[in-house]
A and B are shown apart, each in its own frame.
Chain A
Amino acid sequence: MRRGLLFTKTFFPVFLLLLALLVLGAIASLLFGARSLSVQEVLGGLFGAGEGLYEASVVQKRVVRTVFALCCGAALGIAGVLMQAVTRNPLADPAILGVNNGAAFFVVCGIAFFQMNTAREYIWFALAGAFVTAVFVLGIGSMGRGGASPLKLVLAGAATSAALSSLVTAVLIPRLNAMDEFRFWQAGSVGAGTWDSFWLLLPFLIVGVIAAVISAPAMNALALGDETATGLGVKTAFMRYVAALAGVILCGAVTAVAGPIGFVGLLSVHVIRALLGPDVRVLVPMSALAGAVILTVSDVVGRLIGRPGELEVGVLTAFIGAPLLIILALKAKVRAV
């Protein structure tokens, strides 16, 4: 492949714009919240001038939260690229495929039946849940003629989500303390992020990113169809497993530490693809950037409109992301739907 194809003319403007948005989002995330701080207070908190003050501790919390949101957003952005590439389906998103609810159900079981109460303990459960659900939904969605069409996948995902969320509630209702724990997990969103959960997320993030980078060229070939890809010398099946596993690991790990957050992957991939084209090697890093921007900004907005409490970031991303789902459904060809 020619090198020139990788960077289109719009690449650098878009890259700079996203970078600027990222910085602005991060600054906003430090400044705004239930109690907004001034620039001096934030600087003081950051560089230790206001040691021991209330503001300083708020700033510390917000720094964690911002870093955490950036990482989660990036992970979800990459997961979106991988899932869409693997399923060759524009609607593949953890929320739509029910992967979030799968992880949630396993976490609930961990809390309710195995007395788990820290993310470190139930992250494996969340990963297992995400994995099982993804396999299940993809299995049902790709039955029959024509493989996994958008409609089949979305329907299978919606039905699975419905079943899982009923089960989650059914497990929780008899157990009040588990319910508290779970609500904290579910509602905590990125606000519950601590350095602990950040360090917990990091290895998964690194593994996922490496797998994504390795499999990106193969995903490009896969987009041409399985046979062409094999003809080009790509080990289709193997690379597909690598990419799918990376996608599940990324979104499962984020779900474990931050609760279910949907539509970030869908949004970032489609925005970037519309701007920069379908090259997966471009999509992976840029969608990560876009995901980080979207999640951080949504988190700030959620804090502002939910005052004095805060609106979970997942609720907000669903509200922004669902219209995109509708637009995509309308754009899809009737046959493909």
Chain B
Amino acid sequence: MSTMAMELVRRVRMRHRNRWAIMTASLAVVAAALCCAMLMLGNTIYPVRDVAAALLGEEVKGATFAVRTIRLPRMLAGLFAGFAFGVSGYVFQTMLRNPLANPNVIGITAGSSAAAVFCIVVLQAGKSVTSTAAVIAGLLTVLVIYGLARGRTFSIGRMILVGIGIQAMCNSAITYLLLIAREYNLPAAVRWLTGSLNGIRMEELSWLIASVLVFTPVIVFLSRPLQVLELGEQAAVSLGVRTDRTRVALAIGAVVLSAVATAVTGPIAAVAFLAGPIAVRLAGTARANVIPAGLVGAALVLAADLTGQFAFPVKFPVGILTGIIGAPYLLYLIVRMNRKGEL
């Protein structure tokens, strides 16, 4: 009897794992397809052959310039920034066990943006300084918010309220910095207040790509303890997870990812917030959904950017579209949590 039960459990678990693997693979395919679309579509549509040739370094008339200097950086920025936002959002949501907790709502991206704008506008700093400052500011923001919200007893609600306050301050600081910037222009304002992939150049991407490649494996490695953390502090401790250390390591990884991505694209609204729940809904909870969440994030950013570029007579920056998709979901979530009395 008990062997039969065990067999049943094993089979169900296998099925869940298979589903997870299949969904993750499909998400990767979707993201890859969107990447191809990003490279092929534009003022002129190039066939796959031309794109491939241009990428391999051959000279194709017209295609080489368009693909390699304009579309490739844009695509890579969308891919890696989306991935980074997705992973960091998922980590925060899982770690704090609250779907509302994510770098956007807590105000980390606002802190990073403010630091990045300060570096660019006031210090006229280069890309590496800007990225570093964005990361440091992101970490500082987390520390400040966590320190303020901890009080006698930690409460996520308080953390979110404090985060909204910090966000308001950072946004007004950004507005001020954009005002005193010499070349005050709207595109810059849009990028730093809502996020956009316009005019990103290849050399801006090195930090983003490097951090994604370094920190994703770390977070995946820590994702088992992360899943245990989701069960609650006490359960995690009794299952042998060093909760504090794991939490700190995960938080640093997540903050670095979202800060570096913010330094390149600006805060793309709602991606960090949507990616986690979508990934969980699609792939189930057989394994930690770090990679699926990243892939969903990348797919969201790429799809929103393609829509913004081509679906309307005018081009919309990606952050506007994700904002319009994301905010109703946020409202829906608040309504649902209110009904259940979770807020």
Residues of A that sit less than 8 Å from B by CB: 91, 95-96, 140-141, 143-146, 149-152, 154-156, 158-160, 162-163, 165-167, 169-170, 173-174, 179, 262-263, 305-306, 309, 311-312, 315-316, 318-319, 321-323, 325-326, 329-330, 332, 334, 337
A166-B324 contact, Cβ under 8 Å, with A160-B331, A318-B171: yes
Within 8 A of A (CB), among B145-164: 148-149, 151, 153, 155, 157-158, 160-162, 164
Interface flag for B316 (CB, 8 Å): yes
Interface flag for B49 (CB, 8 Å): no
Interface flag for B209 (CB, 8 Å): no
A163-B327 contact, Cβ under 8 Å, with A155-B160, A337-B161: yes
Interface flag for B282 (CB, 8 Å): no
A158-B169 contact, Cβ under 8 Å, with A166-B269, A174-B314, A306-B179: no
Do A154 and B161 have beta carbons less than 8 Å apart? yes
Residues of A within 8 A of B57 (CB): none
Nearest CB in chain B to that of A306: its residue: B179
Interface flag for B330 (CB, 8 Å): yes
User: Contact string, B37-73, partner A, CB cutoff 8 A, digits 1/0?
Assistant: 0000000000000000000000000000000000000
Interface flag for B248 (CB, 8 Å): no
Q: A169 is contacted by which of B155, B194, B340 (Cβ under 8 Å)?
A: B194
Nearest CB in chain A to that of B324: its residue: A166
Q: Chain B interface residue count: which class? A: 35 or more
Q: Which of B105, B179, B190, B341 has the most CB of A within 10 A?
A: B179
A163-B316 contact, Cβ under 8 Å, with A309-B179, A332-B158: no
Question: Can you list 14 pairs linking A and B with CB atoms under 8 Å apart?
Answer: A144-B339, A155-B343, A159-B330, A163-B331, A166-B194, A166-B319, A166-B323, A306-B176, A318-B169, A319-B173, A322-B165, A322-B169, A330-B149, A334-B153
CA of A332 to CA of B105, assembled, Å: 19
Residues of A within 8 A of B179 (CB): 306, 309, 311
> Shortest Cβ distance from A260 into chain B, in angstroms?
12
A166-B327 contact, Cβ under 8 Å, with A154-B164, A332-B158: yes
Residues of A within 8 A of B148 (CB): 326, 330
Do A319 and B172 have beta carbons less than 8 Å apart? yes
Residues of A within 8 A of B270 (CB): 162
Nearest CB in chain B to that of A314: its residue: B172
Within 8 A of A (CB), among B287-343: 312-317, 319-320, 323-324, 326-328, 330-331, 334-335, 337-341, 343
Do B343 and A329 have beta carbons less than 8 Å apart? no
A163-B162 contact, Cβ under 8 Å, with A318-B171, A323-B169: no
Residues of A within 8 A of B194 (CB): 166, 169
Nearest CB in chain B to that of A142: its residue: B338
Interface flag for B168 (CB, 8 Å): yes
Do A152 and B175 have beta carbons less than 8 Å apart? no
Do A326 and B165 have beta carbons less than 8 Å apart? yes
Residues of B within 8 A of A323 (CB): 165, 169
Residues of A within 8 A of B320 (CB): 166, 169-170, 173
Residues of A within 8 A of B323 (CB): 162-163, 165-166
Do B338 and A143 have beta carbons less than 8 Å apart? yes
> Shortest Cβ distance from A154 into chain B, in angstroms?
6
Residues of A within 8 A of B330 (CB): 159, 162-163
A151-B165 contact, Cβ under 8 Å, with A173-B316, A334-B158: no
Residues of B within 8 A of A316 (CB): 172
Do B158 and A330 have beta carbons less than 8 Å apart? yes
Do B312 and A174 have beta carbons less than 8 Å apart? yes
Do A151 and B327 have beta carbons less than 8 Å apart? no
Residues of A within 8 A of B164 (CB): 96, 154, 158, 325
Nearest CB in chain A to that of B170: its residue: A322
Do B160 and A170 have beta carbons less than 8 Å apart? no
Do A315 and B334 have beta carbons less than 8 Å apart? no
CA of A205 to CA of B58, assembled, Å: 70
User: Contact string, B168-197, partner A, CB cutoff 8 A, digits 1/0?
Assistant: 110111011001100000100010001000
Interface flag for B100 (CB, 8 Å): yes
Residues of B within 8 A of A311 (CB): 176, 179
A162-B327 contact, Cβ under 8 Å, with A143-B335, A151-B343, A174-B314: yes
Q: Which of B161, B180, B324 has the most CB of A within 10 A?
A: B161
Q: B343 is contacted by which of A95, A144, A158 (Cβ under 8 Å)?
A: A144
Interface flag for B275 (CB, 8 Å): no
Do A144 and B176 have beta carbons less than 8 Å apart? no
Interface flag for B166 (CB, 8 Å): yes
CA of A74 to CA of B342, assembled, Å: 38
Do A330 and B190 have beta carbons less than 8 Å apart? no
> Shortest Cβ distance from B336 into chain A, in angstroms?
10
CA of A306 to CA of B184, assembled, Å: 13
Do B161 and A167 have beta carbons less than 8 Å apart? no
> Shortest Cβ distance from A158 into chain B, in angstroms?
5
Q: Which of A95, A149, A311, A329 has the most CB of B within 10 A?
A: A329
> Shortest Cβ distance from B76 into chain A, in angstroms?
25
> Shortest Cβ distance from B222 into chain A, in angstroms?
29
CA of A334 to CA of B156, assembled, Å: 10
Residues of A within 8 A of B168 (CB): 95, 262-263, 318, 321-322, 325
CA of A316 to CA of B337, assembled, Å: 34
Do A329 and B162 have beta carbons less than 8 Å apart? yes
CA of A66 to CA of B331, assembled, Å: 39
Would you list the 8 A-B pairs with minimal beta carbon distance, nearest first?
A163-B327, A166-B323, A144-B338, A329-B161, A326-B165, A322-B168, A325-B165, A143-B338
> Shortest Cβ distance from A123 into chain B, in angstroms?
25
